[in-house]
Amino acid sequence: MNRLHPISAVGSVVTGVVRLGSIGFFAGMMLTGPLDVLPLEAVFVLAPVGALVGAAYAVARYYRFTYALAGGTLSVDSGVFDRQEREIPLGRIQNVDIERGPVQRLFGLAVVKFETAGGSATEAVLNAVDVDEARALQSAVAQYRREGDETASDEDEPAHDTVAREPTGPGQRRIYELSTRDLLTLALVSFRPAAPAVVLFGVPFAQEYALRLLSATVETLGGPSTVSLSGLPTYSTGETLLTVGVAAALFALAAWLLSAAFTITEYYGFHLDYVGDDLRYERGLIQQYSGSIPLEKVQTVTVRENLLMRQVGYAALAVETAGYAPGSGSQDASNTAIPLDDRETVLAVAEALTDADVPAMERLPDRSRRRYAVRYSLLPVVATGLLLSVDTLVQTVPYWYAPLALLPVTALAGHLSWKHRGFALLDHLFATRSGVLVRSTRLVPYYRVQTVIDTRTVFQRRLSLASVTADTASTASLLGGDATAHDLDDQRARTVHETLRERLMADLRAGERGDRRQGLTALLDEADAPDGAVDAGTPDPTESSAREP
């Protein structure tokens, strides 16, 4: 059995000393102060005692934590008072993720996380092991999956102190590398929802500087020289509108810049390699991540394009695996295979992973467009009704009818929602598309479908519409991100449902599992071929700035 690196014991001792020492100190202060139970000298006894107990517990916890990779299983024993012994079959391990923060990189260490299919949390965590040991563990699990070694012969394999197995089979080949130019482009065209919340949280701590910047900007544009909350009632209507508009613009700019900083730190150094039968990625500036995505576990391949990406011809690619998502720290980033590249290259990789061409989508019936227009138009109508109620029953609300001015916008939103939705049925693939601000095209092989679900709401039944969902075992399905063909004609929905069921059963009977290895190998061979050997009708991934020469 192996132990964690000794430095992890040092970190645990420091944490235990600070935690229990603080508890002892504050307990002594309470007992000698407000409660007046003990003399003041008790504080200088309880705090050191707490620190000693914390240090002792940390040392015991370090010595009681052991792990071993043997007999086709990962064994993890832990616990001081309550002992826990876990045996995790290597065949159930879905992903092996490696994380390295600044402290771990300083000492050449890494945190290894083992995720299993269907798990609601990380199955096992090795908090501090040598980085070479971490990579060897990752390679050993990948090798076991490739060999399919679940026989009794592996049970005779002796436990070893250091994992030394390296991957066999196909060598490591670079599929994608995010260039500096594309990283900056990604930061500019993407937006992180957490950024506005961080700006709102930080404004009170920098209120003086924020008001100074706001005042200088408003004054430059011809507004009042000093902006303050107390002075707002004294402003004219024009000054108020100018101040509010500038404040909103500065807030949006700050959120956008912070979002760009988040994106750069998360995707810095991103590259994706094809190793054996796995996709292996690395990314991160401050906190570095390395994870593996088994090809045989891929459930859904998704092409994502936000509004800005579509304008400049870019897209992103994500893969979703069964059960718990790789890299629990950030699901979107960990499932990402290509953060940003030209759309042709992204589609070429998606086709290689699904062994099928990305199809043209079948449009929804026209009456579903009316449904979307009515649905979105209800928002300003309801808002107007609420303002009218307040104006009538509580107090006067000027311009209570103003939300009705948004009716043309909501009608356009309904049209765009209808326009960007669609689906397609191929011989071995079900494809759906949805989303306006972020358009997602999901590609699901039939043999990955777990359940086919028809949905008919009250409003859909009135228009003879229905939605068909191909439910898979991916994490996105657990979060409501299934491949769904929305608002089809009712008869067409029944046909799609029956087709999905028939093709699923046909693939299962035929043992169909796709050939992602052949597709990826062909794509990489084509990219490495001389220019004259590449078919002119096929996009060449080497033309992308993000592809290694």
Cβ density class 345-371: b for 16+ within 10 Å, e for less: bbbbbbbbbbbbebbebeebbeebbeb
Cβ neighbours for 84, distance < 8 A, ≥ 6 positions apart? 76, 77, 78
Q: Which residues of the chain have pLDDT under 70?
A: 117-121, 148-171, 323-334, 475-480, 511-518, 528-549
What is the pLDDT at residue 225? 83
pTM of the model: 0.79
What is the pLDDT at residue 328? 42
What is the pLDDT at residue 529? 66
What is the pLDDT at residue 424? 94
When the candidates are 2.40.10, 1.20.120, 2.30.29, 1.10.357, the CATH number that belongs to 68-169 is: 2.30.29
* Residue 41 host element (H or E): none
Hey, what amino acid is at 318?
Answer: A
C-beta separation of 301 from 315 below 8 A:
no
Task: Give the bridge partners for 75, in sequence order.
Answer: 68, 87
Handedness of CA 231, 233, 234, 240 (dihedral sign): positive
CA distances from 310 to 50, 184, 233, 438, 541 (A): 59, 17, 43, 9, 19
Lookup: tokens for 25: 């100190």
What is the pLDDT at residue 533? 46
* Residue 291 host element (H or E): strand 288-294
What is the pLDDT at residue 60? 93
What is the pLDDT at residue 536? 40
What is the pLDDT at residue 476? 57
End-to-end Cα, the chain, rounded Å: 44
Q: What is the pLDDT of residues 76-101, one digit of tens each?
A: 999 888 888 989 988 888 788 999 99
Of 145, 124, 146, 143, whose CA–CA distance to 135 is shortest? 143
What is the pLDDT at residue 543? 41
Cβ density class 56-71: b for 16+ within 10 Å, e for less: ebbbebbeebebbbbb
Rounded distance between C-alpha atoms, residue 292 and residue 289, angstroms: 10
